[in-house]
């Protein structure tokens, strides 16, 4: 989940800031902001048809692209197209980007931070690699500035088309792990740390669960910020909170892609159903504005959690109840409305009861995402602690745990 920047910030970001003394630009609504930040979807994103089966992580193609701009500067990245797997095990193409520090790589290659992004949308053009600012490129550059490479997958279906399994933990973990493998064709170290925020936080915990049974020897742990982990209470909170209505149809869409038997008419209200076609072309900012007035029974059917396939999807794709391989730094803002702290408190307690190594830190004044002039998000406000924890993993220091403080919590 992420909040779009203000109009002025977006204009500066894409190089369209007005000259000094010029008249201020006309207001740019969220859909206008999306268009200003969009990059052309070129033939690079069209996978071979038919797609010849290959192992996950097999690179299909790569290209250097210098059209990104983040942190006030031009950014050059390597785009990658690679083989991944759906939750059902079907071979599928996925896209992403790799950011490398300047200069020659150190002996053994650059250490890697894999970045599982927060909600951008489900439309083909909502891939972060198709956004001029890389969706949160300023945050990626913090890692690059420390001498670490960033591998940032678009979840399969974003960029490449064919539908994306939004919030499906198996599909998302497949995409992240395959992206790390595909990027190893570049001069990267085998050592890597994962960071996931919101939707990506759920993906990061799914990867951590898999590391317990199928470990990658180079994996050093995960930073998880405000994760979409316990989906039933998260969905109930979304339905009850004004302004978050767009997330429910995105989740219902993900359930439908995973299981076509899901009856959206039994989940979404008639008003929400009428707006559903916008998911094909509009990303999170525009969808949030479109669904802003829908909450409660205006958003969902009264018995929406009784739709069996939707309920099964939420239960099957919750994370945090199984042991995590490697240490986890779990960060949560106390002012977060999208993922309330009470939900993450319970996730932390459950992870601790599994024997996982969890360092859970809460920040009373931080929200889910940064809204300029209103609230600072956990991913920005806790950045120094996040970076220090990652540096400790690459330095081989032991990870701390706060689980002794939380073992007896419900």
Q: Is 233 exposed, middle or buried (0-12, 13-18, 19+ CB in 10 A)?
A: middle
The C-alpha atoms of residue 161 and residue 179 are separated, in whole angstroms, by: 17
- CA distances 151 to 114, 188, 383, Å, are 5, 10, 18
Non-local CB neighbours of 265 within 8 Å, separated by 6+ positions: 273
Non-local CB neighbours of 169 within 8 Å, separated by 6+ positions: 202, 203, 205, 206, 316, 317, 318, 319
- Reduced to 3 states (helix: H, G, I; strand: E, B; else coil), residue 234 is helix
Sites in the chain below the pLDDT cut of 50: 1, 3-22
297 and 242 Cβ atoms separated by less than 8 Å: no
Range 371-379, long-range pairs (CB < 8 A, 24+ positions): 371/3, 372/5, 372/6, 372/9, 375/335, 377/3, 377/333, 378/197, 378/225, 378/226, 378/331, 378/332, 378/333, 378/336, 379/118, 379/136, 379/139, 379/197, 379/225, 379/226
348 and 255 Cβ atoms separated by less than 8 Å: no
The C-alpha atoms of residue 1 and residue 130 are separated, in whole angstroms, by: 17
pLDDT at 408: 55
Closest CA to 1 of 133, 165, 167: 167
Main-chain dihedrals φ then ψ at residue 164, nearest 5 degrees: -115, 135
pLDDT at 27: 77
Q: 191 is written with which tokens?
A: 């050592």
Q: Which superfamily, per CATH, for 37-231+323-405?
A: Alpha/Beta hydrolase fold, catalytic domain (3.40.50.1820)
The C-alpha atoms of residue 123 and residue 44 are separated, in whole angstroms, by: 17
Q: 197 is written with which tokens?
A: 């925020």
pLDDT at 240: 98
Supply the DSSP symbol for 137.
H
- Reduced to 3 states (helix: H, G, I; strand: E, B; else coil), residue 35 is helix
pLDDT at 1: 44
For the chain, the farthest-separated pair of C-alpha atoms sits apart, in whole angstroms, at 62
- Kindly report the pTM of this predicted structure: 0.92
Domain boundaries defined on the chain:
37-231+323-405, 232-314
The C-alpha atoms of residue 260 and residue 252 are separated, in whole angstroms, by: 11
pLDDT at 15: 30
The C-alpha atoms of residue 337 and residue 241 are separated, in whole angstroms, by: 8
Non-local CB neighbours of 329 within 8 Å, separated by 6+ positions: 221, 222, 223, 224, 359, 361, 385, 386, 389, 399
* 30 backbone φψ class: left, alpha, beta (φ>0; ψ -120 to 50): alpha
Chain centroid to Cα 259, Å, comes to 21
Q: 378 is written with which tokens?
A: 């956990």
- CA distances 165 to 53, 74, 170, 291, 299, Å, are 20, 32, 9, 21, 21
């Amino acid at each position: 989940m992420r909040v779009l920047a203000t109009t002025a910030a977006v204009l500066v970001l894409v190089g369209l800031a007005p000259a000094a003394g010029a008249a201020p630009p006309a207001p740019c609504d969220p859909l206008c902001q999306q268009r200003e930040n969009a990059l052309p979807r070129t033939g690079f994103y069209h996978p071979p048809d038919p797609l010849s089966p290959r192992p996950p992580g097999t690179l299909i193609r790569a290209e250097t692209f210098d059209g990104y701009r983040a942190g006030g500067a031009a950014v050059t990245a390597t785009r990658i197209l690679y083989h991944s797997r759906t939750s059902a095990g079907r071979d599928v193409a996925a896209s992403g980007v790799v950011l490398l520090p300047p200069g020659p790589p150190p002996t053994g290659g650059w250490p890697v931070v894999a970045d599982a992004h927060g909600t951008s949308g489900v439309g083909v053009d909502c891939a972060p690699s198709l956004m001029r600012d890389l969706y949160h490129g300023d945050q990626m550059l913090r890692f690059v500035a420390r001498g670490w490479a960033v591998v940032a997958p678009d979840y399969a279906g974003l960029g490449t088309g064919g539908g994306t399994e939004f919030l499906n933990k198996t599909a998302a973990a497949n995409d992240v792990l395959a992206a790390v493998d595909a990027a190893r064709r570049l001069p990267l170290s085998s050592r890597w740390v994962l960071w996931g925020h919101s939707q990506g936080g759920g993906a990061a915990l799914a990867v951590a669960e898999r590391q317990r049974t199928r470990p990658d020897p180079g994996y050093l742990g995960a930073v998880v910020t405000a994760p979409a982990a316990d989906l039933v209470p998260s969905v109930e909170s979304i339905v009850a909170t004004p302004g978050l209505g767009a997330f429910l149809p995105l989740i219902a869409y993900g359930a439908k892609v995973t299981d076509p038997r899901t009856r959206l008419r039994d989940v979404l209200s008639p008003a929400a159903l009428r707006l559903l076609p916008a998911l094909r072309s509009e990303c999170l900012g525009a969808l949030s504005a479109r669904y802003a007035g829908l909450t409660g029974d205006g958003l969902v059917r009264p018995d929406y959690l009784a739709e069996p396939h939707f309920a099964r999807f939420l239960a099957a794709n919750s994370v945090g109840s199984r042991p995590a391989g490697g240490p986890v730094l779990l960060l949560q803002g106390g002012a977060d409305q999208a993922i309330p702290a009470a939900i993450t408190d319970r996730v932390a307690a459950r992870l601790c009861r599994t024997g996982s190594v969890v360092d859970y830190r809460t920040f009373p004044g931080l929200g889910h995402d940064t809204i300029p002039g209103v609230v600072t998000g956990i991913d920005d406000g806790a950045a120094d602690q996040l970076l220090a924890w990652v540096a400790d993993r690459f330095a081989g220091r032991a990870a701390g745990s706060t689980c002794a403080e939380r073992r007896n919590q419900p």
